Structure 1
Amino acid sequence: MTGMGSLLFGYNTAVVNGALGFMAKPSQLNLSPFAQGVVSSGLTLGAAFGAVFGSPLSDKIGRKKLLIWLGTLFTVFALGCGFAPNTGFLIACRFILGLAVGAASAVVPVYLAEIAPASERGKMVSMNQFLIVFGQFLVFVVNAILGSLFGSNAGIWRVMVSLATIPGIVLWFGMYAMPESPRWYATKGKFGEVLQKIRTKAQAEAEAKEIEKKAKIDLAAAEEQASFKDFKKDWIIQIVITGGMLGIIQQFVGINSIMYYGTQVLQSSGFGANAALIANVANGIFSCLGAIIGMYTVDKLGRKPLELLGLIFCGISLIAVGLIKTFAANASWTPVTIMILILIYIVIDQGTIGPVTWLINSEIFPSRYRGLGTGITIFTLWFANFIVGLLFPVLLASIGLANVFYLFAAFCLFGAWFVSVRVPETKGVELEEIETYFRVKYDHSFKGESKIK
């Protein structure tokens, strides 16, 4: 049930991919390229703020209760988008939906990381990535079917955006059956109560002792929840920089330009409008394939090697698309070749950069700082997403597909350098030990030794 938050994340962010062409028609909202960018990116701007304010709220009231509230928001404002009388109302509803998306994007990975055993944490948190891209795939299929069958009715976009109410209702009521996070209980001075329900007896006892020891240290340090003033500590700042830069890199390598504007990208590559809408479904299929690969490799290959490989090969794919578009734009084989390269890029990104970014951000903050810290880093990710979503239609119209992809490739190379010098390997490591790594590296007053090299 928790995964419905991630599925809604995917559905609501990608629904414009296919619906936007109908919205833009003169008989509907008559959107300019810039207005299309605002409609698309209004949700991601809301998501940036939702991530910041949602995470501290989850620290206060609990992960479970917040996800129930988010299910309500998803349901109500998806309907609001469907019945929007004008562009302004639509943007406002998508901004509020974005608040829910951002909060879910910060809370769901943390919730999954906190309830999972260390040996299974990578797979469980990576399932979050799979459900995001499954939500995107689902909306691509829905849009292709509705667009093909009812494309003569330009108002069909209202049905496309309204269908997000269904998983919203599932999240709303389904979370009542889920347990609260044991580590959230630990920050309240309660130990092991939920672990007994989701672990074997031996696992629960061992993990409860580790959580209790660490939580008592946190509780002794401060009675209240962490606040922004606590983030003046050098070692916490370094964690924020690491997580925030991973989010920026994930967005600036361009994956969401494909997931939000895939139909337009395929048309720029040489496909017709209907062919692009149908072919865009392949983007969703290959996204799911990549996410599945990532889910089963991240705990075997490790976070850092997977991220590095992803950045390098995504960069190569993007450069290849740019070169073909530059030197063979009018060749008969160009559209299909570009589509194949884009699908390769999607599989690599969704199987490496995507899941690793969310996973590491859910792991690197200590318990007391996890809600607010994750909120700050996910705010950075979403704001970068907002910039890409806002500017991509404008850049595509002004400098062309090839130059945009060269720009994304440059960020792949920068990202590979950053990961190689800044990111620790967290595979199979207890969350409490990850804190020790950062304190040993960046807190010179801390006396201890890290097991992470």
Structure 2
Amino acid sequence: MTDKSYGGTTGEAPKTPQSTEPLVKVIAFIATLGGLLFGYDTGVIAGALLFMKHDLHLTSLTTGMVTSFLILGSAIGAIAAGRVADRFGRKKIILAMALIFILGTLGCALAPNVVMMITFRFILGLAVGGAAAIVPIYIAEIVPANRRWQFVTLQELMIVSGQLIAYTSNAAINEVWGGETTWRWMLGVACIPAVILWVGMLFLPDTPRWYAMHGRYSEARDVLERTRKSRMVERELGEIRKSMSSKSEKHARRQKTISVWMKRLVALGIGIAMLQQLSGVNTIMFYAPTMLQSTGLGTNASLLATIANGVISVIMTFVGIMLLSRFGRRPLLLTGQIGCTCTVLAIGLITWLMPETVNGHPDTVRSYMVLAGMLVFLCFQQAALSPVTWLLLSEMFPMRIRGMANGISVFAMQMTNFSIAFMFPILLEHVGLTFTFFAFAAIGVAGGIFAIFFAPETQGKTLEQIEKHFKKHLQDDPAPQSGS
């Protein structure tokens, strides 16, 4: 299965431009607060670990557990939320995730020992994963097709903005309230956007496609009328009705089966999701201060230097959003994968070839060269690989299994993330920074080969056109097959 078979054309885009009603912008902003919390809760640990390790007496093992158990929780949260979102609705799941964000944040900030910290990081992870799986689907199903790329990638912008806020607040809190308990304030700040997310979602509708999937067409029409110009409502509602009324779709719903082509599409989604994490991005987002300290940089300098990671991530996500308007998903995915692989190889070479000390003192030039490598890596990651990954996962699955399939894909992504986050401090202690990054480079080469052969192109299609396109090119046997 190559790109020529299913990804080489963009298909027909709607000929009439679709305007975006103001409500769509409000919906996108409030929903993507889940992305902001995702970014903050994953990024804040980078600075908090520097203080927490003394207060909670962390070892390299428990450091990995504190960092990675949030990701383990997010994997479970993603697959659980994906399954129930198809039944109970996208809105209700996001509301539930907001409450879990609040509970997990307070639990982490007040944790008296490492066991409680790991427990509440896991609980917080349930919300992170649920938001990661459902928020992009919620936005993709509610915005016009010609603006989907823009609003879905807002999720990625909010994630990196959350990480930047985390890095900046870490440095500011340390400057103002520096001490062993500083990490509690760092973690607790996330309660504010979590409350705003919960209150805001109370006033928003569910998606027209979810309403249609459950036969509630009057409510689907109402949402379309509130989020589209009136001339577009009947056309889009007709497309949605047509996708739900085909014989194969009715048969599959009655038999509760998943077709062979759907299983293949889920497998493709899993591969794309894992590709993003295997680049090694979250070793940089979680452990940048730890890595810079290991090269000889001081604590304050490491915290301040990490802010640069957040700034570059935000700037390059804006760049990525602009690039998506001109280029397709596939070219950006390939560019990001190749760029990230070359950069982690370069970081490995820097730490291997440059001396650790000069005249008995740590070589700060080496430290800043490593930081420069991180920033170049993030240019490729945040301008290409990450936004395309989230966008593809939100739009490539058919409506009937969209929540479940995206949940499975994000589960695979976060389990990969968990494995890397858990093992990184152990690898850093036993084999060092150099060979750890060489390993990521080797994995990146394999990921690049996967992307060349399998990366799809979905630009210019409505969700219903994408479903029809994949069904045509991935289906051997048109009759649905039983499956889970």
Indicate the TM-score class for this superposition, using the shorter chain for normalisation.
Answer: over 0.9
1:69 to 96, 99, 103: 96
Runs of 4+ in 1 over 6 A off after TM superposition: none
Per the alignment, residue 165 of structure 2 pairs with 138
Asked if 1:205 is matched to 2:205, the reply is no
Matches of 1:3 and 1:22 in 2, distance apart? 30
The answer as to whether partners of 1:48 and 1:382 remain within 8 angstroms in 2 is yes
Quote the offset at 1:223 in angstroms.
4.8
Matches of 2:137 and 2:434 in 1, distance apart? 37
Quote the offset at 1:144 in angstroms.
0.8
2:470 to 417, 438, 449: 438
Per the alignment, residue 442 of structure 2 pairs with 410
Per the alignment, residue 398 of structure 1 pairs with 430
The answer as to whether partners of 2:288 and 2:306 remain within 8 angstroms in 1 is yes
Q: Secondary structure at the match of 2:202?
A: helix
Asked if 1:308 is matched to 2:340, the reply is no
Quote the offset at 1:433 in angstroms.
2.1
Q: Secondary structure at the match of 2:433?
A: helix
Per the alignment, residue 272 of structure 2 pairs with 246
1:57-76 per-residue CA deviation (whole Å, 9 max, x = no partner) reads: 21122111221121111112
Per the alignment, residue 112 of structure 1 pairs with 139
1:269-418 aligned at under 5 Å gives the runs 269-330=295-356, 333-418=365-450
The answer as to whether partners of 1:257 and 1:388 remain within 8 angstroms in 2 is yes
1:322-377 per-residue CA deviation (whole Å, 9 max, x = no partner) reads: 11111113355222222112111112101111111111111111000101111111
Per the alignment, residue 83 of structure 2 pairs with 56
Per the alignment, residue 450 of structure 1 pairs with none
Per the alignment, residue 115 of structure 2 pairs with 88
Going from structure 1 to structure 2, the CA distance change for 1:18 and 1:300 (only over 3 Å counts) comes to: same
Matches of 2:56 and 2:71 in 1, distance apart? 20
Matches of 2:345 and 2:241 in 1, distance apart? 50
Matches of 1:365 and 1:21 in 2, distance apart? 41
Quote the offset at 1:222 in angstroms.
4.6
Asked if 1:78 is matched to 2:100, the reply is no
More contact order relative to length (CA 8 Å, sep ≥ 6): 2
Quote the offset at 1:247 in angstroms.
1.5
Going from structure 1 to structure 2, the CA distance change for 1:240 and 1:311 (only over 3 Å counts) comes to: same
1:227-242 aligned at under 5 Å gives the runs 230-231=257-258, 233-242=259-268
2:190 to 164, 167, 192: 164
Asked if 1:38 is matched to 2:65, the reply is yes
Quote the offset at 1:438 in angstroms.
2.5
Any gaps of 5 or more consecutive residues in structure 2?
1-29, 357-362, 480-484
Quote the offset at 1:193 in angstroms.
2.5
The answer as to whether partners of 1:119 and 1:299 remain within 8 angstroms in 2 is no
1:221 to 251, 270, 291: 251
Would you say how many aligned residue pairs link Structure 1 and Structure 2? Answer: 440
Matches of 2:441 and 2:277 in 1, distance apart? 12
Q: Secondary structure at the match of 2:206?
A: coil
Matches of 1:270 and 1:118 in 2, distance apart? 50
TM-score, with structure 1 as normaliser:
0.94
The root-mean-square deviation of aligned C-alpha atoms, in Å, is: 1.6
The answer as to whether partners of 1:77 and 1:93 remain within 8 angstroms in 2 is yes
Q: What amino acid maps onto 1:205 in structure 2?
A: E
Matches of 1:434 and 1:415 in 2, distance apart? 24
Quote the offset at 1:440 in angstroms.
2.2
Quote the offset at 1:400 in angstroms.
1.3
1:411-440 per-residue CA deviation (whole Å, 9 max, x = no partner) reads: 222222111211220011111222223222
1:262-297 per-residue CA deviation (whole Å, 9 max, x = no partner) reads: 101222233112100111111111111121111222
Any gaps of 5 or more consecutive residues in structure 1?
448-453
Per the alignment, residue 451 of structure 1 pairs with none
The answer as to whether partners of 2:107 and 2:117 remain within 8 angstroms in 1 is yes
Q: What amino acid maps onto 2:305 in structure 1?
A: A
Matches of 2:354 and 2:249 in 1, distance apart? 63
Quote the offset at 1:84 in angstroms.
0.8
Q: Secondary structure at the match of 1:120?
A: helix
Moved more, 239-248 or 437-446: 437-446
Quote the offset at 1:105 in angstroms.
0.3
Moved more, 415-424 or 346-355: 415-424
